[in-house]
Amino acid sequence: MLRRAFSTSSASYAKRRLQTKLTEACGIEHPIVQVRMQWVGTAEMASAVSNAGGLGILTALTQPTPELLRKEIERCRSMTNKPFGVNLTILPAITPPPYDEYVQAIIEGGVKVVETAGNNPSKHVIRIKEAAPGTVIIHKCTSIRHALSAQKTKSIDFVSIDGLECAGHPGEDDIGGLVLLALAAKRLEIPFLASGGLGDGRGLAAALALGAEGVNMGTRFLATKEAPIHENVKQQIVKSKETDTVHLFRSFRNTARLYKNSVSLKALEIERQPGAKFDDIRDLVSGKRGKRVFEEGDLEAGIWSAGQIVGLIDDVPTCQELLDQMVKDAVDIIDRRLTQMIR
């Protein structure tokens, strides 16, 4: 629900907040979550978002081993006394990571919010809930059918509805957030978050109006002072247009939205050739090359994820500045613009 009993004085206006099921369940100030970001979801990023009043998320598989995840959870806790979460993405692999051990690290770390994505997380979610009943589980979905399936897993508390605009993997249906969120409000019984194409107060207000309990953001957090990536990447995002992303891996049924650079375009050209196989582009799209982009600032070193929201990003604020401005703008739109339309 949205708090509406506010004074219109400038002093009290600055203190107004948005209260939703997400803020209540997670014990956070603002209904804004930092999504998993490979190589970026570290203690520096998560603690900065949590300290700003949102929900920071550590990316479990950014840590090479479960033991390193334990240490990263401890490190994050030393950097913030506010709630933060851990993402666990279940991916198909010939030799999968030791997911059970990562789950144990999450449980032992006393993490109160877990975001899951990828393959069916039921086994791990049930285990987490049994070990720590109060843990809030958020599961990423890219379609309503997946969200309805997740809803059947009673241990999932929220689903994140990812529209076509999002960075990373938006699914294969190409449905934008405007339609997906309206469908979610119409068909889901459990609360949901909006993800994809969100990064300002307008988007936050729109997501809440469509029925979401908060928003999930990734690309917008890349362009913040605290993001542990090279300044070249941040400035490139600021310079970018909404058309500066591209879909790759579509022919492999694993579509990903990436920044449009020479590497992603070369990989796309090869992928579109008749009979192309993943091995033909494996070197171009390797994770090690993508990591170099963030670490060294070489924007052409490899592929890197970015959403269409790049077209709306024109500054590099602190996380505190970003979240405060987003909430202020959203409240302004809801309270001062939309209510004025009611006669």
The Cα 168–Cα 295 span in angstroms is: 19
Which residue, 86, 146, 153, 83, is CA-closest to 118? 146
Six-digit token string for 168 = 């990373």
User: What are the tens digits of pLDDT across the range 81-97?
Assistant: 999 999 999 987 778 99
Which residue, 298, 310, 318, is CA-closest to 219? 310
Q: Tell me how crowded residue 41 is: count the other CB atoms within 10 A of its CB.
A: 29
pLDDT at 262: 98
Residue 291, pLDDT > 60, answer: yes
- Classify domain 10-229 by CATH number: 3.20.20.70
Q: Amino acid identity of 82?
A: K
Query: For residue 153, what pLDDT band results from cuts at 50, 70 and 90?
Result: confident
Residue 3, pLDDT > 60, answer: no
pLDDT at 158: 98
User: What are the tens digits of pLDDT across the range 27-39?
Assistant: 999 999 999 999 9
Stretch 51-62: mean pLDDT: 97
Six-digit token string for 305 = 């994820």
Which residue, 22, 53, 54, 56, is CA-closest to 37? 56
Q: If you average pLDDT over every residue of the chain, what do you get?
A: 93
Q: Angle, nearest 10°, between helix axes 177-187 and 144-152?
A: 30
pLDDT at 95: 85
pLDDT at 14: 52
Stretch 320-338: mean pLDDT: 95
Query: For residue 131, what pLDDT band results from cuts at 50, 70 and 90?
Result: very high
Residue 268, pLDDT > 80, answer: yes
pLDDT at 150: 93
The Cα 79–Cα 48 span in angstroms is: 8
The Cα 47–Cα 110 span in angstroms is: 16
Domain boundaries, the chain: 10-229, 245-305
Residue 286, pLDDT > 80, answer: yes
Backbone dihedral angles phi then psi of residue 150, each to the nearest 5 degrees: -65, -35
pLDDT at 9: 40
User: What are the tens digits of pLDDT across the range 237-259?
Assistant: 999 999 999 999 999 999 999 99
The Cα 108–Cα 164 span in angstroms is: 35
Q: Tell me how crowded residue 113 is: count the other CB atoms within 10 A of its CB.
A: 24
Stretch 160-167: mean pLDDT: 96
Stretch 310-319: mean pLDDT: 98
pLDDT at 339: 86
Out of 60-64, 82-86, 223-227, 334-338, which region has the weakest mean confidence (pLDDT)? 334-338
Distance (Å) of CA 25 to CA 109, 158, 176: 19, 10, 27
Contacts of 5-12 with CB under 8 Å at 24 or more apart are 6/335
CA dihedral of residues 72, 74, 78, 84 (deg, nearest 10): 80
Residue 54, pLDDT > 70, answer: yes
Burial code (b: 16+ CB inside 10 Å, e: under 16) for 177-193 equals: beebbebbeeebebbbb
pLDDT at 11: 43
User: What are the tens digits of pLDDT across the range 177-235?
Assistant: 999 999 999 999 999 999 999 999 999 999 999 999 999 999 999 999 999 999 999 99
CA dihedral of residues 256, 260, 261, 267 (deg, nearest 10): 40
Q: Amino acid identity of 123?
A: K
Backbone dihedral angles phi then psi of residue 11, each to the nearest 5 degrees: -65, -50
pLDDT at 8: 40
Query: For residue 61, what pLDDT band results from cuts at 50, 70 and 90?
Result: very high
pLDDT at 15: 66
The Cα 171–Cα 188 span in angstroms is: 19
Q: Which residue has the higher pLDDT, 117 or 4?
A: 117
Stretch 164-176: mean pLDDT: 93
Residues 6+ apart with CB under 8 A from 94: none
Q: Please report how many Cα atoms fall inside a 13 Å half-sphere around the Cα of residue 318, on the Cβ side.
A: 9
Residues 6+ apart with CB under 8 A from 2: 18, 19, 20, 208, 334
Residue 343, pLDDT > 90, answer: no
Q: Using the 8-state DSSP alphabet, how is residue 316 labeled?
A: -
Rg from Cα positions in the chain: 19
pLDDT at 336: 87
pLDDT at 30: 98
The Cα 207–Cα 197 span in angstroms is: 10
